Structures are given as C-alpha cells and as structure tokens.
Structure 1
C-alpha cells in the first residue's frame, strides 16, 4: 500500500512539473488582445537610405526630381536605377530643387504629405510620391537557432516574424525577450513576454529599422556554458597537480 502511495505521489509531482514547464514555454497563453492598439507605421530615422519617386501626368515636370544613379541596385518601374538619399544625423536630406527637407521622426504618410506640399502646385500638379527605405534591417541575438542581421525588403516585420527568421527560440531561451530601439537619441529597452497575447499590444510588436531583439538563455543554460568553457582548464590544472604530486612523492 505504501509503495502504491509513493507511485501516485510521483505521478502527481510529475504532472505538476510538466504543467509548470509547459506554461513556461508555450507562446500566446491567455490574455486578451486589444485590436485597436495593433498599429503599424514606418518612422524615418537618421541613417536611413531612402528612395523617393515622384510621378505625375506631366512626365517632363517630374524628371528633375527623379535622379538616377549608375551605382544603384534598386530600380523604378521603368527599370531605371534609382538614386538613394541618406538622412543625415540632423534628420535632413538634400533633395533636388526643394533643398533640405527634414524626414527624421516623420511617418511615411507625413513625409509624403510634406513632399506634396513642396511640389504642388509650383513644380508638379497632383504628384504621386513613393518613399522606400533601402537599408531596412533588424538584428536577432542570443538564444535562438540562427542569430543574425536580416534585411527586410518591404519594411514591415513583427517581433514574431523576426523570431521566425532566426529559426525560433531554443528551448533554453527565456520567453521574456528584450527589444532595443533608438528613440530621441537614446537606446530604450522594451520587454515582451512571448507567453502572453499582450505582446500584440506592445509599441514594439512591429519593429522599426535597426531594432535589436535579444533572447537571454535561462540560468541552467548559462551555467552549463560556463562549466563547458572551463572544463578544459580544470582538466589541465588537474593534470599538472597530479604530475607535481607524482614528482614530489618519488
């Protein structure tokens, strides 16, 4: 009877342990998602390379604003190499005819409206403006299968998609991750718990260019890494000590 009780107790403990470990690992548990807070927008920053295409019915009128570049790798609809503009440290680009324009901290919608106001009606009537970031990239580091820097062609990527690009977290990766983002000339850190649906309401759910995701390894994994790194040293020291003892005791 006592043996049966021990077996039952072991099963209960095992069940509790299994539930706890599952709760620590599984993504998107519980918590409701506020759909109104899910918002995607591109915000231009210093260091961005942008391609700006101006279109209108009057083709001749827009030609001075669409510079070409022999070294460009991206092309417009007609196949012509597009010139890229670097947003400088002060947030400005130097654009043909219009001069210096501040794009940093503007959303894409705001930047397009700025160009339209500058162009119409003096230079181009009813212009269509397209702005694209050509060096949009994010970085995923830490306890994931394939850490690295990833270029995002369409400028739209969520935290979940970025983790997918990196091959997902390893089982030893802590499910509360960190997102590093530069805002107002400062690096800010946001924490997101992948186990909760609340991540969809985070201001960093949709990543901005140059964001960094870091996945910290759990304590057990960190200790194993330190142990494995020092194992060779311990063996070497042990061999030296044994050799010294052998010499001294002869």
Structure 2
C-alpha cells in the first residue's frame, strides 16, 4: 500500500503541471473571433518617404542606351544585407547621406530626404531633360534596404530584407517561420518610427481588426515583437518552482523502493 502511494507521487506532480499549462484553442487560432468574410481595402498611399541612410537603386534608360550608360554605373556605397535565411550579402546603391542628399552622376548632389520615390524620380528626369543630357529619360528607383525586424515568439526571429516594398504583417510573420504555440496572438506589438517619433501599437490577431488597420501593411524599419503567452510564462515559473520537488520526490521513491525490496 505504501509502495503504491509513493509510486503515484510523480504522476500527481506531472498531472498538476499539465493541467496548469492548458490553454483554450481560441487563443492560438488566427482570426478565430470574426465572422466577416469581406473587408474593404484602405485607399491611402502606402509609399514611404525617403529617409537618411536609405540605400536606393536608381536606373536610367532613354532612347539612346549609350548616353544612358553613364548614369547606370554602380555606386560605391555598399552595405551588408541579411535576409530571412540569415545569409549576408553586399548590396550596392545610392546611400542617402546624413544631410539628406545622394550624389548622382552628372547632376551632383540631389536632395532625397522627405521625398517619395515618385517625386525623386520626376526630379531626376526633369534635371536630365533640362540639362539636355538625355531625351525622354525613364528613371526607376527601388529601396535596397527595405527591412523589417521580427522578434519574440516566432520560429525564426530575424531581420527581413525583402525586395517587395508592399509587405503585410502576416507575410512578415510567415517569413519568420510563423508564431510558436506559446505566442500571445492577441497582443502583438508593432513599433514604428515616423518623423522622429516612435509609435507603439498593439494588434489582436484573434480578431479581424488587422484587416481594417493602417498597420496591415508594414513600412521599412518596422519592428514586430511577439510576446509569450500566459501559458509559457506560467509553465516556466512552475518548472522552476516544482523541479526541485520533483527531483526530491523521485529520489524519495527510489530510496523507499530500495528499502522495501530488501
């Protein structure tokens, strides 16, 4: 009788830990609290303005390919870029200086900070025409360091550098390997800096609020932090609290069995 009781001690301890770590299925399902099937798209422009230290790819074409060639010489400004697979590679382009300018062939210093890509494109095209350097030039500008950081309870926390400048929060989480089972889906933190001010926004992924939120689409340098849920915090605390007791109980069981079987 005494032996059976001693053998059951570890079982009761395990059962207590298991019950305390249980969580509701609605807490781990995306958008489980919504019944709507259609959401309107937001119409405002998603194009960000150019900031200091942005790295831009600028290509120029025209009716005269030979005359355009001088404007497509790779810039000497190079940074190292990390992508979702954690590989690192050098990226070459036009670096926006701390004063807010880029140094462009034949045109010299051009102010870029505070402009959208479209505005800078038009400015370069107009300058090329005004100075009679090219006829009907076409300028294409892309960001080379468009990056988003995903931290916390995701499979692969990382800094994501993506060529597509229209990235959603869900796509970013997907590139980071998705949320873990211990992620707090109703309290995802988005950190965004605009005009020198940092904004902290909480997003609930168990409802449909994300689809109508201005934060559905991410901007360069956004930071996503996924907090651990109460289950993980509680289980971590319980493990630290109960582990010495479990070890002591198992030791007691082994000693008791040894004595009873003599």
Does the alignment reach a TM-score above 0.5? yes
Q: Which residue of 2 is the match for residue 119 of structure 1? A: 128
* Structure 2, gaps ≥5 residues long: 1-21, 80-90, 249-262
Query: Quick check: 1:42–1:155 contact (8 Å CA) kept in 2?
Result: no
Written as runs of structure 1 = structure 2, the 5 A alignment for 1:129-148 is 129-148=139-158
Q: CA deviation at 1:196?
A: 2.7
Question: Does residue 1:201 correspond to 2:201, yes or no?
Answer: no
Shift of 1:160: 0.5
1:180 counterpart = 2:191: yes
Shift of 1:42: 4.2
1:39–1:198 CA distance, 2 compared to 1 (3 A): farther
Q: 2: distance between equivalents of 1:102 and 1:224?
A: 54
Comparing 149-158 with 46-55, greater Cα deviation is found at 149-158
Please say if residues 77 and 95 of structure 2, whose CA atoms lie closer than 8 Å, have aligned partners that are also in contact.
Answer: no
The SS at the match of 2:24 is helix
1:47-86 equivalences under 5 Å are 47-68=53-74, 84-86=93-95
Q: Structure 1 residues 144, 83: CA separation in 2 closer, same or farther (over 3 Å shift)?
A: closer
Displacement, 1:165? 1.1
Match of 2:84? none
Structure 1 position 110 matched with structure 2 position 119: yes
32-41 or 163-172: bigger deviation: 32-41
CA contact (8 A) 1:38 1:201 kept: no
Aligned in 2, Cα 1:169/1:224: closer, same or farther, shift over 3 Å?
same
Q: CA RMSD in A?
A: 3.1
Alignment of 1:1-250 (within 5 A): 21-28=24-31, 29-30=34-35, 33-37=39-43, 40-68=46-74, 84-122=93-131, 123-175=133-185, 176-228=187-239
Task: Using structure 1 for the length normalisation, give the TM-score.
Answer: 0.71
The count of aligned residue pairs is: 209
1:25 Cα deviation after fit: 3.2
**Counterpart Cα distance in 2 of 1:64 and 1:30:** 57
How big is each residue's C-alpha offset from its partner over 1:63-93, in whole Å with a ceiling of 9 and x where there is no partner? 33222358979xxxxxxxx951111233321
TM-score, normalised by the number of residues in structure 2: 0.68
> 1:225 offset after TM fit, Å?
3.0
Structure 1 position 229, deviation (Å): 5.8
CA offset at residue 231 of structure 1?
7.1
Which protein, 1 or 2, shows the higher relative CO under an 8 Å CA cutoff with sep ≥ 6?
2
Q: Quick one: structure 1 residues 147 and 231, their matched pair in 2 at CA, closer, same or farther if it must change by over 3 Å?
A: farther
Task: Tell me if the contact between 1:67 and 1:83 (Cα under 8 Å) persists in the aligned partners.
Answer: no
1:188 and 1:219 map into 2 onto residues whose CA distance is 25
Deviates more, 1:23-32 or 1:108-117: 23-32
3-state SS, counterpart of residue 35 of structure 1: coil
- In the TM superposition, what is the alpha-carbon distance from 1:163 to its structure 2 partner? 0.6
Q: How far 1:227 sits from its partner (Å)?
A: 4.8
